[in-house]
Amino acid sequence: MKAQFTMFREEGKGTEPGPASMRRVLAFMLAAAAVALFAAAFFFAKEKDWYAYLPGIACLCGSLLLLFFTTWSDMAEFAKTLREKK
């Protein structure tokens, strides 16, 4: 039986689960923080204008950047396995 690939773990070898992916964990934490920061900014936007949304935007951009690099490494691994099969 092959190890399961989960949201926070890399693919394992054999039946052992893979290591935790720090990029995925941090991306999830930043996305959750962005939701909270946008909700808090909604109440302060009248006083501070659009500057209240900057922390949420920064967390959202950080989350997207981490997910991009996670996807990039997964795609590189996929391309590597395709080349090995040919």
Indicate the average pLDDT of the chain: 81
Contact 12, 24 (CB under 8 A): no
- pTM for the whole thing? 0.68
Could you tell me if 33 and 51 are in contact, meaning their C-beta atoms sit under 8 angstroms apart? no
Quick one: 4 exposed, middle or buried, by C-beta within 10 A (0-12, 13-18, 19+)? exposed
Q: What is the pLDDT of residue 12?
A: 67
Looking at residue 5, what is its pLDDT? 55
pLDDT in tens, 29-45: 999 999 999 999 988 77
Predicted local distance difference test score (pLDDT) of residue 39: 93
**3 pLDDT exceeds 80?**
no
